[in-house]
Each structure stands twice: as structure tokens, then as C-alpha cells.
Structure 1
């Protein structure tokens, strides 16, 4: 089986993405996770360009990696000096990595305009830089910057650059679609010409996603001889991003039958993708192929019915093979199959002919018409399911809330206060609290009332709060009006859940979502206590 090496450049090329910044500590954490996944090369950065990358190469030496080889990245030497005197090449050697990657200009436009050198001098820069580095490392890679654009403009010069790099000792010549504008059929044609002129050279591929073709171009390149693929986790990178390794790897393994990570490590892919997003402080892309939360989510009733019989009907791979899982969503498109699937997930054994299913389905569709979004608020749906199927006693009874917002001076922030009256276990609790806005004040007030009875509510933290105006139909007036949907994401440190509220009034919608979040936490603790894992009344 053909072995393809995976070269990750998240820590260098990926950090050029807008809104993505990593500290040295972040880069160490990501590198260790990528090594755990089983990637072969991890490009740590450009030690000659900034202190963070220099520090990374010093720190990473203290960590023993199991599969990955750390790689330092740089450029050919400055054209007005020699390779031996160049500070950039010196910093590469100071990084003390077993592998080095340098890039050089292979487009005549860049050589003449960007570098301001003759084409002959550009060839000298490539040869001298690689020849200088070759004795000091185990492996040496040459990134042919703007290779495909250069070939289209002046194929003879571009091929001379590749021949020069090969003769100077580069182990792999990496063909770079730096501007991301090359099409798959062009990749095939150009690679064939390179192989014709350099039949002994090992080729790699480095593509950008400006034409939404980075993954496709990388796969085509492998199909036509590339032995190394460069890319980033989640496709992070400058402009539209780099080739996404989270799509490339499963395509190579599962669809092309090539050896990259192996089946066991492939199951860690989704976890790795989410981990890198978390470290980078970026939300995971919901609809990302293979590893996104929506990659194997089913909403339409007909689809769900078929998937429950055989997942192959609407899934191109087994979600578990990449560490993902199948999800069934609730919406106005839902059928009985959706309800049955979700009920089973929540621990309810419901017969398909149970009359309560039809009532529940009608209720969900009516709520979705108003603006409720149960497909992203599983906790609220589970509470609704329990209400309809079990009719449990409420954890507390609401009586009243009162919210006051006041602003006394133009330059001062408004003051928010909330008063809440609830009954818990036969006792009436009347509490008040102030907060940063009316919703925060309400949340504090109701918790103050409940924490005496449910101390573990102190564990809950609000992770995200989203407000959106949605259109709904007012049946009693026959007109149209705007509803406000509030989504609240909560966590107790171990569990994460999302709840939803909808109303014309943003305070009421927020109250619904907050109360559902509190009820769900109490429900989780109750289930834990029944399983013998804890006490719902313990802090």
C-alpha cells in the first residue's frame, strides 16, 4: 500500500488566518495533540521571523513526541549576502530540528519583481541555500512558492528551479498553489510534465483554498504521484485558508485506500479538530465535512426513517470512523422517526403507535413555526419530552418576576435589578439581585432562590448567549410579527447543554432559556444520583 506522509503547517501557515493567534504555550499544546493524532511532520514556525517561534523550538525539545518530526521553516538566503552569512538560514540551524523546509521563488514575476533579482541569481539562491543546509539535517524539503502560476507563465524557468533544488539535495519538491487559483485538471497536466523532466524526484503538494479546491487539488496530486500532503487542521490559513487535513486524511484513508494514520488514530480526528479550535479560541465550523457537528445530522423525517434502517442510505462513511456520531434533529420537518430516535437517546422506550407521539410532533412543529430551534437545543427538547411522556413534578413553581432597568446619568451604565418569586418543596422564596443587564440580574435572582435547595446549581456557568430576531405567524391576529429567539449554552464543567426560549419580549425569551438550563442541570444531577454517582442536593 502506498504510504502518504502528512505535513501539518497549522502552527505556521495556519496562524496567518484572520482572528487566529497562538502563544508559545498554545503551539506546544497543539503540537502534542497533532503528534497524538499521528501526523508525520509538524511545522513549528519560522524561527527567523518572531520571538514566539524561536521560543517554541526551544520549548518543544523538552517534549518527547511519538510519531511527528518537528520542522522549522524559512526562505532561501538574502540575495545580497551568501548562504553562510545569512541570518535566516542560521536561525533555521539554531532551531535544531531534524527536518527543515525552505521556500524559494519559482515564478519569474516574483523573482524579478518581489526579490528584484535576475532569473539566474534566483537559481543560485535556491542551490546555495539548500546545499548549505543539507549536511545539517536528516530531511530537507523545498517549497516551490507560486509553482503552478510560475509554470503557467514560464514553464522552462519553473522547471529549472525544480531541477536546481533537486540537484542541491532537497528530499521532496513541494509544488505550491500559493494563490489558490489552479484547477484540478491543471494540477494533473503540470505534475505530469514535472515527472517527465524529473523522474527521480519525490513530489509533495501544498494548496490554498481561494477557489474552494484546495482539498480536491491535494487529492488529485496524490492520485498522480505526490507522496507528501501539506495542509492545516480545519483548513486554517491566510485569506480563504489552506488545504484542510481534516477532509484530506479521511479521503485518503477511507476513499482512496492509502495508508496515512491507520483506523484507530483516524477515530481521533474530530476530537483533534475541536481541540485545535478550542486552543485557538475559535468556534468549530458546524458544517465542516467529516468532523463538523452537522456532518452526520439528519432533519427530514424521510431521511431519518431511512437512516435508522441503514445509515448508508444517507451517510457516505460511518461517522465513528472519524470520531464523529450520527445526530437526528428536531424541527418542523421532523417525523415520528425523529421523535423515536431522540426518545431512545434520552432513555425512553416509546412504541411507534403511541398516541402521545402525534401530540408531541404537532407541538414541536407549532413551536418551530414560532421560532423555537430544537435542532440546536437538545436540552430543551429533552425537558419537553419528559413533560409529555412522564409528566414529572416540577423542580420549582414560578409565581412572578419583576425587572427594572434604570439609567440616571448619560455617562453611567444602566442599572439592572430583578425580583423573583418561586415555590420550592412547599416553601415560597422571594429574592432580588442586580446584574450586568436584565438577563444577568434575572439569572442571579432565580439562582439565589434555588441554590439553597439545589446547591449544585453553583457549578453552572453561562458559556454563550445568542439572540436572533425570527419571523413567526400570529394565529390569533392573522398578521405577521417578529419573535425573538434566545439560545443559552451552559456548562457545569463536565456537561454542556443548550436551551432555547422564544417570545416577542427578549426578557421573557431569555427567562425561558435560563429556566430550562436550570431545570436541565437539576435533571442531570438527579439522574447522576439515581445511578449512584452523586447526590443532587450536594454542592
Structure 2
């Protein structure tokens, strides 16, 4: 099997998608999950472009990755500036990433009109930048920006740009279909020409989806000799998006006899897709290839009757290979194996406990219909399983809570001085506690009050830190009457976990997720229920 390297740029190109803004914790969670999935390279962003990316590269140095290598992204040295003196290249080296990707122009019109540089100066910038980074001991990827437009406009010059990177020692030259307008047969022809021009040079491909051909163009490039594929999780990105790296991985593994993440890890694909959707807030379409809810769904009577006898008739691949499942719309098939595996990962042996797995699945299904999701809520899922097993007892019981939001200065939509106060009354054992907490928002005030109330009984709660808070409307068509889903990410000494709460009232949904974060966090720290 041919090895095709996977290069994920969700943390840079993906974040350029309209409506997506990842926190530092989001980026670290994504990096961790990509490593678990087996992606070869993770592009972290510009190491000196903003405080969040600077913090990412500092934090990621202390993370242990089993498979992935982190890449920093930047540009060639500036026009008229030596590579040794260029501050951008210095930032790329200083961030400590073992892989550096630099973008350079290969379209003559871009060089003369956008960069306003001589064609020879652009070649110097490419050659010196790659050589400088290689001399510093980095693995260097050269992103050949607008290569396909450049090839059509001035083939000789576009190839000269590649030659500059090749002779300077670039480990991979990734041809960028930047405008997203090329078609697969053109991509295959042009990539084949580049591969033939530079024997022994590794080539990659980076596509955008403006004409709906990003995945097809990426596969065409592999057919022509590319050995590295770039893309984002679920295809998110600027304009209409980038190549969906997950779809490419599945097609390469299952259709083109290539090795990417490996057949074992491929079974994580659907879980990875939905995990990324929950983190980024960009939902996976039900009709998304391989990972969508409807990707292997069967509704038509003819299909439903035939699928049991001959699945290949209406399933182009075995859904189990990508962690999905076949589904009859009228009578859904249960995912018992997935639940058993997930429970085991949470330290719960459902089989040994004699639990009715189907009953648990039905409960989860009913909850998901009401707006719950457990994709990034391991804490809530573990508590749900414990309830079914009779192994759960609450940390406390709630008597009541009240939240007040006070805005003393009327400055309209620009007001920033609102404050929140929460009072809660709870019982721990036979003791009653009343506490009042303050915060800039109602959830922060509730968190403060709850911690004050239970600290006397559970002092270890101080080791739990709320690091992220997200609100979703699963059914936006209902407007202000829609069910609200709140997910909370909490950090402790063992890592990060999520909890979920659902209600028509956002404060109640937040309270439910907050309580489960405290309960599960205490369990992880050794608090014994019952």
C-alpha cells in the first residue's frame, strides 16, 4: 500500500471559515484528537500573528503526541529582505515547531501585481527562505500558492518557482489550488507534469472547494503522484471551504489502496467528524459523505428490503469501517458495540454489569431527540451510564437557586458593565448550605456560588476549572422558544472533559451542565458515590 501523508490545516484555514472562532482550549483539544486519529501533520497557525496562536505554540510544546507533528505556517521572506534578517522567518523558528510551512507565490501576475516584485526577486525569496529554514534543522513544506493559475498563465515561471524550492531542499512542495476553480482532469495533468519535472521530489496538494471539486481534485493529484494531502476537518474553511480531509482519507484507504491513518484508526472517522463539529460549532450535514447521519440511511421500500440481503447494492462501503452504521429510517439499528467501547473507555464495563444495553441506547436516542449530544460530553455520558447501573448518587440536592443580572448604567447595545449575582440553597447529606456568588455573567455567578456552598464538604472542588462554555440551538427554526443546549468543558489534573445540559431556559441548561461538571470531576478525583 502506498503511504499518503495527511496534513491538517483546520487550526488555520479552518478557522478562517465565517462564523468560526476557536478558543485556545478548542485548538488544543482539536490537536489532541487529530493525534489520536493518526494525522501526520497538524498546522497550528501563524506563530506570531495573534496572542492566541502564540499561546498555542507555547502550550503545545508541553503536550506529548504519539503520532502527529506540529507545523507552523508563515510566508517567505519579504521583498528586499534577506532570509536571515526576516522577522517572520525568525518567528517560525522561535516557536519551536518541528515542521515549518511557508507560502510563496508561483503565479507571475501575482508576483508583479500583488507583490509588486521582480520575478527574479520572488525566486530569490523562495530559495533563500527554504534554505534558511532547512539550515536551522526544520522539515520544510513549501506551499506553492496559485500554482495551477500560474501554470496556465506562465508554465515556465511556475515551474521555476518549484525549482527554487526543490534546489533549496524543500521536504515537500504542496501545490495550492488557491482559487478553487480547477477541475480534476486539469489538476491531474498539471500535477503529473510537475512530478515528472522533478524526479524524487515529494509533492503535496492543497485545494479549495469553490467549484465543489476539492475532494476530487485532491484524489486526482494523488493519482498523478502527490504523496501528501492537505485539508480540514469536515471541509471547513474560507469562502465555501477547503478539502474535507476526512472524506479524502476514507477514499484513499477504501478506494485507492493507500495508507493514511490506517484501517484501525479509520473506524474513528465518524466520531472525529462529529467531535470537530461540536468544537467548531459548524454542524456536520446529515448527508456528509461517510460521517453524516444519513450517509448509510435507507428509507425507500425497495432499498430497505434489499439491504438486508445484499448491502453492497446500496452501500458503497461498509459503514463500520468508518465508525458509522447502516440505518433504516423506520426501524433504526442499534449501535451496541459503539456504546460498549465508549463505556469501556470511561472505565465502565456494561457487559460485566449485566446492564440492558438496548435500554440505555433507547434512552440516549430519546435524549438526543430532545437536544442532547454526547459527542464532547463524556462526563454527562458517564453519569448517565452510572444512573442506569444504579451506581449514581448526587453530590448534593438542590433546594433552589436564583440569578440576578444587574446593569446600572444604560448605555444601550454597547453596555459592558452588567454584573450577575447568584444565590443557591443546597443540601449535602443532612447539612444545608446557602451561598451567594458574583460574576460577570450568570453562569460564572452560579459556578462561584456552587463552589462556595460545597467546598466545606468537598474541598477538592477547587481543583476543577471551567475552561469553556458553549451555547447551541439544535433547532434554530423555533427562535426564542427553541431548546437550548449548553456544553461546558472542565479541566482537572487528569485532563479535560465535557458535560451537557438542555432546557428551553438557557440558565437552567447551564446549571444542569455545570452540576454534572462538578459531580463528574469529583468522581474522577476519587469521590465515592453512594
Question: Do the structures match in fold with TM over 0.5?
Answer: yes
Question: In structure 2, what is the equivalent of residue 49 of structure 1?
Answer: 49
1:84 match: secondary structure = helix
CA distance in 2, matches of 1:164, 1:142: 10
TM-score under structure 1 length normalisation:
0.64
Q: Do structure 1's residue 248 and structure 2's residue 257 form an aligned pair?
A: no
Q: How does 1:278-289 map to 2 (within 5 A)?
A: 278-289=278-289
Residues of 2 paired with 1:328 and 1:491: CA distance? 30
- Within-5 A mapping of 1:285-296: 285-296=285-296
Give the whole-Å Cα distance in 1 for the aligned partners of 2:474 and 2:197: 58
In structure 2, what is the Cα distance between the partners aligned to 1:127 and 1:467?
A: 51
Per-residue deviation at 1:382?
11
SS in 1 for 2:259: coil
Any conservation in 2 of the 1:76–1:125 contact (CA below 8 Å)?
Answer: yes
For normalisation by structure 2, the TM-score amounts to 0.65
Q: CA deviation at 1:209?
A: 0.4
Provide the C-alpha distance between the structure 1 equivalents of 2:301 and 2:499, rounded to a whole number of angstroms.
Answer: 28
Render the CA deviation track for 1:168-222: whole Å, top value 9, x for unaligned.
1101111110001111111122122212321232111111101100000100111
1:380-399 matches, within 5 Å, as none
Tell me the residue number matched to 1:115: 115
**Distance in 2, Cα, partners of 1:97 & 1:34:** 16
What residue is the counterpart of 1:29 in the other structure? 29
C-alpha spacing 1:300/1:164, structure 2 compared with 1 (3 Å): same
Which residue does the alignment assign to 1:143? 143
Please say if 1:466 is aligned against 2:475.
yes
Quick check: 2:6–2:41 contact (8 Å CA) kept in 1? yes
In 2, the alpha carbon distance for the partners of 1:149 and 1:191 equals 12
Counterpart Cα distance in 2 of 1:327 and 1:251: 21
Checking the alignment, whether the CA contact within 8 Å between 1:205 and 1:230 is kept in structure 2 is yes
Structure 1: 5+ residue stretches without partners: 331-340, 348-376, 384-461, 470-483, 500-509, 511-537
> Kindly tell me: are residues 62 and 151 of structure 1, through their superposed partners in 2, closer, same or farther at Cα, counting changes over 3 Å?
same
Q: 1:300 to 1:382 in 2, by over 3 A?
A: farther
Describe the SS at the equivalent of 1:237.
coil
CA shift, 1:40, in A, is: 0.4
Alpha carbons 2:126, 2:165 under 8 Å: kept: yes
Shift of the alpha carbon at 1:276?
Answer: 1.2
Q: Whole-Å Cα distance in 1 between the matches of residues 77 and 116 of structure 2? A: 14
Equivalent residue number for residue 38 of structure 2: 38
1:254-293 alignment to 2 at 5 Å? 254-293=254-293
How many angstroms does 1:464 deviate by?
4.0
Aligned length: 376
**2:137 & 2:227 partners in 1: Cα distance?**
20
Root-mean-square deviation (CA, aligned residues, Å) is 3.5
CA distance, structure 2, for counterparts of residue 345 and residue 496 of structure 1: 23
Distance 2:102 2:175 in 1: 12
The structure-2 alpha-carbon separation of the partners of 1:492 and 1:242, relative to structure 1 and needing over 3 Å to count, comes to closer
List per-residue Cα deviations over 1:25-68 (Å, max 9, x = no partner): 11111000000000000001111322211111110011100000
SS of 1:63's equivalent?
A: coil
Return the alpha-carbon distance in structure 2 between the equivalents of residues 239 and 31 of structure 1: 23
Post-superposition shift, 1:497?
A: 12
Taking the aligned partners of 1:158 and 1:381, their CA distance within structure 2 comes to: 52
Q: How does 1:305-384 map to 2 (within 5 A)?
A: 305-330=305-330, 341-342=331-332, 379=366
Does structure 2 retain, via aligned residues, the 8 Å contact 1:48–1:74?
A: no
**Aligned equivalent of 2:13:** 13
Relative to structure 1, the CA distance from residue 88 to residue 138 in structure 2 (aligned partners, 3 Å threshold; closer, same or farther) is closer
- Per-residue displacement from partner, 1:307-346 (whole Å, max 9, x unpaired)? 122322211111111111122214xxxxxxxxxx34x759
Could you tell me which residue of structure 1 aligns to residue 446 of structure 2? Answer: none
Q: Per-residue deviation at 1:291? A: 0.5
* Distance of 1:46 and 1:380 partners within structure 2: 40
User: SS of the residue aligned with 1:211?
Assistant: coil
Instruction: For 1:269 and 1:305, locate their aligned partners in 2 and report how far apart those are by CA, in whole Å.
Output: 28
Deviation at 1:152, TM superposition (A): 0.3
Alignment-derived partner of residue 198 in structure 1: 198
Task: Identify the residue that residue 213 of structure 1 maps to in structure 2.
Answer: 213
Query: Residues 504-525 of structure 1: CA distance to partner in whole angstroms, max 9, x if unpaired?
Result: xxxxxx9xxxxxxxxxxxxxxx
Given that 1:99 and 1:138 are in contact with CA atoms closer than 8 Å, whether structure 2 keeps it comes out as: yes
Q: Tell me the CA shift for residue 142 of structure 1.
A: 0.4
Structure 2 contact 487–501 (Cα < 8 Å) conserved = no
Q: Distance in 1 between matches of 2:185 and 2:33?
A: 35
2:189 and 2:224 in contact (8 A); partners too: no
